[in-house]
Each structure stands twice: as structure tokens, then as C-alpha cells.
Chain A
Amino acid sequence: MQFAIFAARKTPWDIIGENFTLLAAALLAFASVVVVLFLVAGRATVRAQEWLKYLVFLVPALLLLLVGLIYPTIRTIIFSFMDAKSENFVGLDNYVWAFTIPEILVVLRNTAVWVFLVPFFSTAIGLSIAYMTDHMKRPNIIKSLIFMPMAISFVGAGVIWRFMYYFEPNEKRADIGLLSAIVKSFGGTPPNWLLESPGNTYLLIAVMVWIQTGFAMVVLSAAMKNVPDEIVEAAMLDGATPIKRLVRVTIPMIRATLVVVLTTIIIGTLKVFDIVRTMTGGNFQTNVIANEMYSQAFRQMNYGTGSALAIILFVAMIPVIIYNIRQLRLERTER
């Protein structure tokens, strides 16, 4: 009680002051540990350094990965076979739940739609822009503008696009959402964008495409720079049109990079959570696995179903991981 009274008197500056004291202490402590370790280890005998080097350089990161990623993954797998409070084993119940409840089936279906459409459109648009600007004299402004959404948080993007999609229910009032205004200027009647399924899912997907296109463009455009001009010129002399050149010459030559871009965007899309949460809260049939996982685990407080959804998400990613490791292996042997 006393604490509550005290807390109520704290001004924002008090809180900031306390927080920054902790911040300074943490940074200072971290820096001193590193410096002391280096001073001590650097003076140790050559033989001692042989094992000290593992302790200082490798062990901290490995320990964190073990405690922070590997252990939780195993725990989550176990949780997914247990009830809401992780007290009793329930076998496959949580998975049966995920694949039979109509609501969750919608979630799974939406996630699948996201995973197909976002990588496809981001990469296709990114590839087109990269190709169109490949030999342009000053492509930098164009590229910066398209790349810019990468710097914006998903939450920020959610606000930006909620504003774009804003629907004015009162017909007498002027539209403040650009999309509604455009539809009206063509004489149409705008729908209530974010409320009407299945259109709303596509509108959310457009936001993710808006963000990821810049990434695809930058990476693909760098890969295109590595395509020798001579080859492209030869194709031109043979009379290939720009489109044919893209399909027959450029795309095959940047195939490896294309795959990397696609897989990176697939993984990012599977994890998407913020956009759905800020724009519709997962309502109106727009929910996806990552957001439903959060709701199950932290709103319903059901760790069983939440964990099962997390595992489903992970299993969906496994093919991508295996493929990536294979690529990396191949590349390493080539080197």
C-alpha cells in the first residue's frame, strides 16, 4: 500500500532517472567484466590461454543459446502435449484441437495465404523494380523510397495503413481515408475495408508486401550487378526483348539469390504478428498463427494450445531451414 502511494507520486522524469541509472549500471558492469577478463586472460600463461580462450570467447554465447533457445524449444514441445496449466499430459489433444476447431482452421488457412502471397508479390515487385532501375543513371532516390518501409516498425506501418484504409460510416462526412476517397472519386461505394472478410486479409497482406518489397529489391538489385554486361548485350544482339532478357538471362543467373530472398521473406511472414495485432487485433477472420499463439498463451493463459500453435509454426519452417543449410554447405564446399 505504501508502495502504491509512493508510486503514484513518481513523475515520468523520476522513472526515466531510475531507468537510466539501471541502464548505466548495466552497461558499466558489462564493459568492466569484458575488460577485466581480457586483462586477466591476456596475462595468463600460453597454456592457460589455450583453454581460457574458449571460456571467454565461445562459452558465453553458447550458454545463452542453450538456455535461451534450445531449452525453451524442448520445453515448448513438452508443453504442447500438456493441458492449459502444464500439469497433466493430454497426448495429442492440443493438436487435434488446432486442426478441428473451425476458428483455428481459419487461422491456419490465413497463414497459408500469407505465406504464398507475401513472398510472391514482394519478390515479383522487388525484382521488377531492380530490373527497371538496373541501368538507370540515378536510381538512388527511387530505391530509397521503396526501401524506406523497412525502417518502419510493423506497429508504425499498422497505423499508417489503418489510416489509409479508414472507412467513414457517416455518409455526410468527408472521407479521411485515401482508399475510400479514391473509390468514391471513381463513383464507387467503398466497403468497410478492414471489417469485411476475405478482402481484409488481402489488405493486411498488402502491408507486409509494402514492407518486404524494398528488401527483395535491394538484394536482387545487388545480385543483378554481378550479371556480366557482355551476356546481356549478347542477348540483345540476338534480338531478345527486355522481358525475354529478364526471363531467359537475368532470372536464371540470379536464381540462388532469388531463393534466399524468397526463403527469408517466407520465414518473416510466418512470424508476422504485429501487423495483424495493430490493424484488426486478429478479428474479422484475419487471424494468423503467430497472433493466435500469443492470444492462447497470454490472453487465455492456455500454455498447451499456445505451445501447440508455436510448434506448428516451427514445423512449417523446418523445410526452409533444411534447404538453407544445404545451400550453405554447398557454398562452403565450393569455396
Chain B
Amino acid sequence: MTASAASVRAKGRAKNIFSSPIASAAAWIIAVVWTVPTFGLLVSSIRPEKDINSSGWWTFFSDPNISFENYQKVLFEGTTTNPPLFQFFFNSLAVTLPAVIFPITLAVFAAYALAWFDFRGRDALFFGIFALQVVPLQLTLVPLLQLFAKGLQIGDVTIIPDLGITGTYIPIWIAHTIFALPLAIFLLHNFISQIPKELIEAARVDGAGPFTLFSKIVLPLSVPAIASFLIFQFLWVWNDLLVGLTFGAGSKEVAPMTVRIAEMVGTRGSGWEVLTAGAFISMAVPLIVFFALQRYFVRGLLAGSVKG
């Protein structure tokens, strides 16, 4: 009690001596510099088209002129060959939900097995999965795409048949699931393996089998870790371009927003009225998630990288 009080006091005192006004000012300046680009985009997106293209966004403050026409235009105007952005918004949602739920479920299962089942080669398997984290996506693209398009044959023997799923969401979901697994298993294993042994043993003595143990003890206790990884995976899938671009097979009916925005940059590189509004729409959901759940996000990040 007294020891902790003393350390609290020491912390308080340390705060006073350490905080220097110069350091604070410098940190604030960096923070402002870091925010200006995003802020400029946001301001531009609510200016009328004529203003965006004829004056810098910083002049907005001396001559404020607000219009939501850009949003209206980019979200709802489109043709069948160039659908409006709101369709891609729903595509992003449809890509993201399963691509978050599938890998987390499978990873919790595997992490539990690797942490609490006793079998030979368990550690080697864990290190192997850990190492898979760095296999670059690029390495798997061509074979995986062929697998989805043609199935897998060795000689005349069909191991995986052609499933006819190219151009649907299914390849995107599966690809995201596969790429998420190594990190997810690693992070969740760190957490699940730290559940007190006594708790698990006590349940086993009471006659709980591996399945009851999982649903009654491991799963409820892992909720915080699962939440952290959920945010992680959500941001990663929502913001991904490469998987959506390649595994979506170029179909506009399944392409997520990032693919559409990248395409808009290519075709109308300086149509700033639609680009700024479009980019901001694609950023809105992750930013809301980020600011609302920042604490959990940070926790997940730290579980993966802070040592000692």
C-alpha cells in the first residue's frame, strides 16, 4: 500500500520535471503537420466543384462555400458499366463481414489447439505458422487464382474440382481468410496460452471434455483478444486493394471500394470533386471504427509486437 502510494507520488513528481514546453510544442507541431493532408481532403470534398479546381482548399476559410453535391454525384450517379459508389460500399461490406468472421473463428480454434492440446511437434508447428506470417501475398497470387479458376489436378487425378466460383465473393473471402490466419493464430495463441493452468485443470477434473472446455472457459476468456484482432482484421480487409483487385476477377459486381477509387484515380486523375468525396467515403467507416475503438486496436497491436 505505502509502496504503491510512493510510486504514484514518484510518478507524479517525475511528470512535473520531465514535461518540457518545447517538447510539447514540437509534438503538437508534428501532430498538426500529420493531420493537414487528411483535413485538406475533407475540406475539399465539401466545396463546390468550381471552387476546388480554381483555388486551394485553405482559401475555404476566408470564403466558405459548402456543397454536398460532390457526395451526391459520386455516390449515386453512375451507369451499368460504371456503377455509382454506393454499390461498391455494399460490396466492401459484403467482402469484409465474412473475411473477418471466418479467419477469427478458425484462428481461435487453432490457437486453442496449439496452446492446450499435448501432441508431438506442437512447438515446431507453432513456429512454422509464425514464420508463414511473412510469406508475401504476391507469392501466392498466381497459383491460388489458378486453383480457384481450374481446381487442382495432379496428373489425371482431381484433388480439388473446378468450383466455378470465380467472379463471386467466395475467392476473396477464402483468400483473406488464408492470409489472416498466421497472424491471427499467433496473436490469439499468445493470449489463450496465458489462461491459468489451474482453471483448465479444474474444469478437466470436473469432467469437461475439449469441446466443453473451449465453449465454457477458453472462448469467454478470450473475448478481449478476439475484439482486438477483430478491429485489426476489419481495417486490413476494408482497406485492402490487392486481394480485391486480383481475386475479384475484375468484376464490378464484387469489387470493394478501394478497387473503385484506385480505378477512378487512373481514369480521372484530376477530377478532384469526385476523388476527394469518394476517398473520404471509403475512409469514413475505418475512421469511425478507429476513433471509437482505438483502445482495443492499440491493445491488439501491442500484443503482437511489444516484447519484454
A174 at the interface (CB under 8 A from B): yes
Of A42, A135, A219, A314, the residue contacting B305 (CB under 8 A) is A219
Contact between chains at A27 and B101 (CB < 8 Å): yes
A90 at the interface (CB under 8 A from B): no
Spot the interface stretch: B66-74, B172-180, B195-203.
B172-180
Contact between chains at B272 and A163 (CB < 8 Å): yes
Q: How far is the CA of A30 from the CA of B175 in the complex (A)?
A: 16
A307 at the interface (CB under 8 A from B): yes
Contact between chains at A154 and B56 (CB < 8 Å): no
Shortest beta-carbon distance, B98 to chain A, in Å?
5
Shortest beta-carbon distance, B100 to chain A, in Å?
11
Contact between chains at A72 and B140 (CB < 8 Å): yes
Interface positions, chain A 230-266, Cβ under 8 Å from B, are 230, 232-233, 236, 242, 256-257, 260-261, 264
Most buried by A among B117, B131, B138, B178: B138
Q: How far is the CA of A154 from the CA of B265 in the complex (A)?
A: 13
B217 at the interface (CB under 8 A from A): no
A-side contacts of B149, CB under 8 Å: none
Of A57, A128, A141, A278, the residue contacting B110 (CB under 8 A) is A57
Of A152, A274, A325, the residue contacting B242 (CB under 8 A) is A274
Contact between chains at B141 and A297 (CB < 8 Å): yes
Contact between chains at A149 and B112 (CB < 8 Å): no
Contact with B along A1-18 (1 / 0, CB 8 A): 000000110101001101
B-side contacts of A50, CB under 8 Å: 210
B134 at the interface (CB under 8 A from A): yes
Q: How far is the CA of A61 from the CA of B103 in the complex (A)?
A: 9
Contact between chains at A229 and B10 (CB < 8 Å): yes
Spot the interface stretch: A99-107, A111-119, A196-204, A210-218.
A210-218
B-side contacts of A161, CB under 8 Å: 37
B-side contacts of A83, CB under 8 Å: none
Interface positions, chain B 1-60, Cβ under 8 Å from A, are 7, 10-11, 14-15, 17-20, 23-24, 26-28, 30-32, 34-38, 40-41, 44, 52-58
Q: How far is the CA of A327 from the CA of B131 in the complex (A)?
A: 12
B221 at the interface (CB under 8 A from A): no
B-side contacts of A79, CB under 8 Å: 142-143
Q: Given the known inter-chain contacts A149-B38, A154-B241, A264-B305, please indicate yes or no for A290 contacting B136, CB distance below 8 A.
A: yes
CB-nearest residue of chain A relative to B90? Answer: A16
Contact between chains at B178 and A69 (CB < 8 Å): yes
B185 at the interface (CB under 8 A from A): yes
B-side contacts of A134, CB under 8 Å: 18
Contact between chains at A274 and B37 (CB < 8 Å): no
Most buried by A among B117, B141, B214: B141
Contact between chains at A68 and B286 (CB < 8 Å): no
B-side contacts of A128, CB under 8 Å: 26
Pairs A-B, 10 closest by C-beta atoms:
A68-B178, A153-B239, A135-B18, A151-B290, A75-B143, A72-B140, A72-B143, A61-B110, A159-B279, A53-B210
Report which A residues bind B (CB closer than 8 A): 7-8, 10, 12, 15-16, 18-20, 22-23, 26-27, 30, 34, 38, 41-42, 46, 49-50, 53-54, 56-58, 60-62, 64-65, 67-73, 75-76, 79, 125, 128-129, 131-137, 139, 141-142, 144-156, 158-164, 166, 173-178, 181, 210, 213-215, 218-219, 222-223, 226, 229-230, 232-233, 236, 242, 256-257, 260-261, 264, 267, 270-271, 273-274, 277-278, 281, 290, 293-294, 297-298, 303, 306-307, 309-311, 313-314, 317, 320-321, 324-325, 327-329, 331
Q: Could you give 18 example pairs across A and B, Cβ below 8 Å?
A: A19-B94, A20-B90, A23-B98, A27-B101, A42-B209, A72-B139, A79-B142, A133-B27, A135-B19, A136-B24, A210-B37, A214-B34, A257-B305, A257-B307, A274-B258, A297-B141, A324-B130, A325-B131
Report which B residues bind A (CB closer than 8 A): 7, 10-11, 14-15, 17-20, 23-24, 26-28, 30-32, 34-38, 40-41, 44, 52-58, 78, 80, 83-84, 86-87, 90-91, 94, 97-98, 101-102, 105-107, 109-110, 112-114, 117, 119, 127, 129-132, 134-144, 147, 160, 168-170, 173-175, 177-179, 181-182, 185, 209-212, 214-215, 235, 238-242, 246, 253-254, 258, 261-262, 265-266, 269-270, 272, 275-276, 278-279, 282-283, 286-287, 289-291, 294, 298, 301-302, 305-308
